[in-house]
């Protein structure tokens, strides 16, 4: 029994040992790593390894923003509870390009570029060296790259409008806060992809628009600095290319024509096929006047030539096309040959002398226009200038440019007149200088001696005669004995003056102040004013002149009106003779007068000069407007300011008589109406018309605007001057009343 129990215990122990051997844990220290990690290695199936480790702890203190082009540095820290642990770092970006790679010891060091300006997300991990699954710590972070650059500032002061065929030249300016160098670019935003210009890299815009560029444009200017972020500024601008009137164009050559005697050359040329206008204006055709040939131009601008009966020979003709603004183009010289009929008629030799083509007859018939005669010269002749309005380059039928006149001598013309004893002296003039007039003149060294006279006598003390001593006696007035007496007299006078000054100090002070005031007044700008009698004379002449306007040719009107204007300036500027406009301008410029009046006078002179010598056709409404303006200028420069009912109002009825066919005529009449209201002292109503004119002005086109612009501009200035004059006169009257009241009190 006992043996059985022992055997059972032995078997049970064997089984227990077998089970324990399969599950027993062997702990082995890793001597190579010398780590506190305890590793259990299964030596048989079912062996299990255990890691006993504390993970590292990440400590991220880096800034969440960085400036571009500036170095970014940060040291990332981490801690580990396990002793003798070596840590190393790693990084990767979650949503963008890699900005940096952290070093194994936790250093972040990089310089962001301008292209990297944005928000970035990244992760940093820190590892220990155990290799366990819990051997790291990680964190997700954001980093914003900020642009540290300020964009350039664009300053475009270029004009928003340009004119056809005129150079447009402008430099666009820009500044950069960092003083970087700048580069400019331009783009046009129009459907036709038309680029008027390409701005240069340094901001220069330079181009000349032509007829095809007329219209409105939108363009962008962009300016860049040298940085890579926030490095530009852009802005849209508009530019209007304004049409200017272009002269008509003659295209091609009209061929020479030959046809037979006593026959008509019908519609041999259509002028519209040879002339064109860039602005699309309707052209008006004229032509030179060939002798013995009648020229007819029908409504379709087709030309027919009808020679005089029995004429044959050679003539020449040219055609001229005018646009509405009087610019023109001229054709080539067209040779017109009319051949003689075959000599099968008995009367063939009757006109045999008419052949040869009018050798003495010019191909261009001149039309002469002469300026007024100049002043009479000492040789008793006067001259004038005549020019051919057709520019035929010939003297055919040229009027006389010299004529006889009676030169009137004066005492100031530098010429010895018939009644003068010398040049500008003697006779009716002041006496001539001589060596016996007891006056030191004409370069004499003494009175009537030296220079052109006999030498002055030198008297020596050694050789004095009794006669010389007698001559010297009058010179010895002051003697030594009388000097003390003179000094005493001077002292007495000074004492008397001092006493007087002391007693009358108050009165002298007032006198001194009044003198100072007068001097100040003299320093003020002087006024050019016309006396009432001259004003009335000019107004009466203008009244008669305006009555002539409807029934007189433009050339005669301009010449007569110019004479009245010159007379006005002669009186105003106190000139000795009637001056040219160039001389008048010089006199006005040097006068010390109010700048506003000076500007109005100079602009008016310019306008008159342009009309008289510009060679363009001037409408009667424009002449009437000039007269109305001239009346207002006379009023502004007159001494008296009379009420409207006492002033002469020339030609009011003309407003009703002129045919108002064109818009420009209506505008001229409105300007004239404004001047009439100004003469009636209705300045507010005149200003209302000025405002209406501004609206009407926008309706006009091209050259019409240029014709009217100066009139409207001058009207505005003259309204201002009229208001200023009324205000000054009112102020002066108030001062006079105040002065009179002060005197009475």
| Residue 393 counted as domain residue | no
| Across 93-108, average pLDDT | 87
d(CA 237, CA 156): 9
Cβ neighbours of residue 279 closer than 8 Å, sequence gap 6 or more: 211, 243, 245, 246, 323, 702
Say what the pLDDT of residue 676 is. Answer: 80
| Across 614-620, average pLDDT | 70
Lowest-pLDDT range of 17-21, 157-161, 514-518, 672-676: 17-21
Q: What percent of the chain has pLDDT over 70?
A: 79
Say what the pLDDT of residue 744 is. Answer: 63
Say what the pLDDT of residue 467 is. Answer: 44
Say what the pLDDT of residue 207 is. Answer: 93
Say what the pLDDT of residue 520 is. Answer: 56
d(CA 268, CA 272): 12
- 318 and 253 both lie in a single domain: yes
Say what the pLDDT of residue 43 is. Answer: 47
Q: Which residues pair with 328 in a beta bridge?
A: 322
| Residue 681 counted as domain residue | yes
pLDDT tens-digit series, residues 672-691: 788 788 777 788 888 888 88
Task: Pick the last residue of a domain from 125, 146, 167.
Answer: 146
- 175 and 137 both lie in a single domain: no
- The token pair at 30 is 């890793």
- 254 and 233 both lie in a single domain: no
With 60 as the cut, is the pLDDT of residue 34 above it? no
- 209 and 267 both lie in a single domain: no
Name the strand (E) or helix (H) holding 509. helix 505-523
Say what the pLDDT of residue 454 is. Answer: 79
With 80 as the cut, is the pLDDT of residue 503 above it? no
List helix spans (H) across 594-662.
595-613, 620-636, 654-657
Say what the pLDDT of residue 647 is. Answer: 45
| Across 33-52, average pLDDT | 52
| Across 312-318, average pLDDT | 91
Say what the pLDDT of residue 649 is. Answer: 47
What is the CATH classification number for the domain harbouring 126? Answer: 2.60.40.60
Confidence of residue 170 (pLDDT cuts 50, 70, 90): very high
Say what the pLDDT of residue 337 is. Answer: 93
d(CA 590, CA 571): 16
What is the CATH classification number for the domain harbouring 208? Answer: 2.60.40.10
| Residue 349 counted as domain residue | no
Say what the pLDDT of residue 129 is. Answer: 83
For residue 741, count CB atoms less than 10 angstroms from its CB and return exposed for 0-12, middle for 13-18, buried for 19 or more. exposed
Confidence of residue 344 (pLDDT cuts 50, 70, 90): low
Domain extent, residue 257, equals 249-339
Say what the pLDDT of residue 347 is. Answer: 44
Say what the pLDDT of residue 519 is. Answer: 61
For residue 585, count CB atoms less than 10 angstroms from its CB and return exposed for 0-12, middle for 13-18, buried for 19 or more. middle
- 183 and 211 both lie in a single domain: yes
- 293 and 316 both lie in a single domain: yes
- 214 and 275 both lie in a single domain: no
Q: What phi and psi, each to the nearest 5 degrees, are found at residue 228? A: -110, 0
| Across 521-525, average pLDDT | 49
Say what the pLDDT of residue 470 is. Answer: 42
Lowest-pLDDT range of 75-79, 471-475, 569-573, 611-615: 471-475
Say what the pLDDT of residue 23 is. Answer: 42
What's the count of helices (H) and strands (E) in the chain, helices before strands?
Answer: 13, 33
Task: Pick the last residue of a domain from 339, 362, 392.
Answer: 339
Q: What phi and psi, each to the nearest 5 degrees, are found at residue 702? A: 35, -110
- 158 and 238 both lie in a single domain: yes
- 228 and 290 both lie in a single domain: no
- 213 and 267 both lie in a single domain: no
| Residue 274 counted as domain residue | yes
Q: What phi and psi, each to the nearest 5 degrees, are found at residue 236? A: -95, 140
- 74 and 169 both lie in a single domain: no
Using DSSP bridges, classify how beta strands 334-339 and 257-260 pair: parallel, antiparallel or unpaired.
Answer: parallel
Across 378-471, the runs of DSSP E, i.e. the strands, are 381-383, 386-388, 402-404
Count structural domains, the chain.
Answer: 5
pLDDT tens-digit series, residues 228-257: 888 889 999 999 999 888 889 999 899 999
d(CA 144, CA 65): 5
Cβ neighbours of residue 106 closer than 8 Å, sequence gap 6 or more: 75, 76, 77, 78, 89, 126
3-state secondary structure 51-76: CCCCCCEEECCCCCEEECCCCEEEEC
- The token pair at 190 is 């129009």
- 204 and 277 both lie in a single domain: no
| Across 11-28, average pLDDT | 52
Say what the pLDDT of residue 615 is. Answer: 60
Say what the pLDDT of residue 529 is. Answer: 74
Contact yes or no for 327/245 (Cβ under 8 A):
yes
Cβ neighbours of residue 173 closer than 8 Å, sequence gap 6 or more: 154, 155, 156, 157, 203
CA distances from 578 to 141, 376, 379 (A): 95, 12, 19
- Full-prediction pTM beyond 0.75? no
| Across 354-374, average pLDDT | 60
Confidence of residue 283 (pLDDT cuts 50, 70, 90): very high
Q: What percent of the chain has pLDDT over 90?
A: 18
Say what the pLDDT of residue 7 is. Answer: 72
Say what the pLDDT of residue 474 is. Answer: 46
| Residue 489 counted as domain residue | no
| Residue 18 counted as domain residue | no
Higher pLDDT, residue 378 or 362: 378
d(CA 54, CA 135): 7
Per the prediction, the chain carries an average pLDDT of 77
With 90 as the cut, is the pLDDT of residue 156 above it? no
pLDDT tens-digit series, residues 388-444: 777 777 777 788 888 888 878 777 666 677 777 777 787 778 778 777 777 777 777
d(CA 580, CA 205): 43
Q: In which residue are the tokens 């003709």 written? A: 317
Task: Pick the last residue of a domain from 116, 146, 176.
Answer: 146
- The token pair at 334 is 């067209």
d(CA 307, CA 260): 10
Query: Which of 78-92, 375-389, 425-439 is most confident?
Result: 78-92
Say what the pLDDT of residue 6 is. Answer: 67
Radius of gyration of the chain (CA): 54
Say what the pLDDT of residue 30 is. Answer: 38
| Across 97-123, average pLDDT | 89
| Residue 472 counted as domain residue | no
Can you give the length of the chain in residues?
Answer: 745
| Residue 307 counted as domain residue | yes
Say what the pLDDT of residue 345 is. Answer: 45
Dihedral sign from CA coordinates of 706, 708, 710, 712: negative
């Amino acid at each position: 029994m006992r043996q059985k129990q022992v055997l059972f215990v032995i078997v049970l122990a064997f089984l227990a040992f077998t089970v324990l051997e399969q599950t027993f844990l062997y702990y082995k220290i890793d001597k190579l790593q010398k780590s506190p990690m305890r590793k259990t290695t299964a030596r048989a199936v079912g062996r299990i390894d255990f890691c006993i480790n504390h993970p590292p702890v990440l400590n991220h203190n880096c800034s969440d923003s960085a400036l571009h082009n500036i170095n970014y540095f940060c040291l990332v820290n981490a801690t580990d509870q396990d002793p003798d642990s070596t840590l190393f770092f790693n990084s990767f970006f979650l949503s963008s390009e890699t900005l940096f790679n952290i070093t194994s010891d936790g250093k972040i060091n990089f310089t962001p570029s301008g292209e990297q300006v944005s928000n970035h997300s990244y992760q940093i991990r820190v590892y220990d060296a155990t290799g366990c699954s819990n051997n790291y710590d990680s964190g997700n972070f954001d980093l914003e790259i900020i642009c540290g650059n300020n964009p350039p500032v664009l300053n475009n002061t270029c004009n928003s409008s340009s004119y056809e065929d005129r150079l447009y030249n402008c430099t666009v300016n820009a500044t950069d806060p960092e003083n970087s160098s700048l580069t400019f670019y331009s783009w046009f935003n129009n459907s036709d992809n038309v680029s008027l210009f390409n701005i240069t890299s340094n901001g220069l815009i330079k181009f000349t628009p032509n007829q095809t560029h007329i219209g409105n444009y939108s363009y962008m200017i962009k300016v860049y600095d040298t940085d890579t972020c926030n490095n530009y500024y852009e802005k849209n601008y508009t530019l209007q290319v304004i049409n200017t009137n272009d002269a008509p164009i003659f295209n091609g050559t009209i061929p020479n024509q030959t046809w037979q005697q006593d026959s008509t050359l019908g519609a041999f040329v259509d002028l519209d096929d040879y002339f064109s206008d860039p602005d699309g204006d309707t052209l008006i055709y004229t032509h030179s006047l060939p002798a013995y040939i009648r020229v007819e131009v029908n409504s379709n601008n087709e030309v027919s030539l009808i020679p005089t009966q029995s004429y044959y020979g050679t003539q020449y003709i040219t055609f001229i096309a005018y646009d509405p603004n009087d610019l023109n183009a001229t054709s080539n010289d067209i040779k017109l040959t009319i051949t003689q009929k075959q000599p099968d008629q008995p009367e063939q030799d009757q006109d045999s002398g008419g052949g040869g083509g009018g050798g003495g007859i010019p191909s261009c018939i001149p039309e002469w226009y002469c300026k007024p005669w100049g002043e009479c010269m000492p040789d008793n002749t006067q001259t004038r200038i005549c020019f051919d309005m057709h520019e035929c380059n010939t003297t055919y039928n040229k009027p006389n440019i010299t004529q006889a006149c009676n030169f009137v001598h004066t005492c100031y013309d530098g010429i010895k007149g018939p009644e003068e004893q010398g040049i500008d002296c003697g006779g009716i003039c002041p006496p001539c200088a001589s060596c016996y007039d007891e006056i030191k003149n004409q370069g004499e060294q003494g009175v009537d001696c030296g220079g052109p006279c006999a030498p002055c006598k030198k008297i020596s003390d050694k050789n004095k005669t009794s006669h010389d001593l007698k001559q010297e006696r009058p010179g010895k007035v002051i003697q030594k004995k009388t000097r003390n007496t003179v000094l005493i007299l001077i002292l007495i006078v000074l004492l008397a003056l001092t006493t007087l000054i002391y007693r009358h100090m108050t009165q002298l002070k007032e006198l001194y102040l009044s003198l100072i005031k007068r001097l100040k007044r003299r320093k003020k700008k002087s006024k050019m004013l016309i006396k009432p009698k001259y004003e009335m004379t000019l107004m009466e002449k203008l009244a008669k002149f305006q009555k002539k306007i409807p029934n007189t040719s433009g050339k005669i009107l301009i010449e007569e009106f110019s004479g009245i204007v010159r007379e006005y300036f002669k009186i105003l500027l106190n000139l000795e003779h009637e001056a040219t406009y160039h001389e008048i301008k010089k006199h006005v410029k040097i006068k010390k007068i109010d700048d506003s009046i000076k500007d109005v006078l100079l602009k008016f002179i310019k306008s008159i000069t342009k009309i008289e010598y510009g060679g363009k056709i001037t409408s009667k409404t424009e002449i009437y407007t000039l007269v109305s303006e001239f009346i207002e200028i006379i009023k502004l420069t007159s001494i008296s300011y009379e009420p409207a009912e006492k002033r002469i109002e020339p030609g009011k009825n003309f407003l009703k008589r002129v045919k108002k066919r064109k818009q420009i005529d209506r505008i001229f009449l409105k300007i004239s109406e404004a001047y009439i209201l100004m003469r009636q002292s209705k300045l507010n109503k005149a200003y209302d018309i000025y405002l209406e004119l501004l609206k009407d002005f926008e309706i006009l086109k091209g050259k019409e605007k240029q014709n009217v612009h100066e009139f409207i501009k001058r009207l505005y200035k003259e309204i201002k001057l009229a208001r200023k004059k009324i205000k000054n006169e009112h102020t002066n009257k108030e001062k006079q009343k105040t002065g009179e009241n002060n005197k009475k009190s």
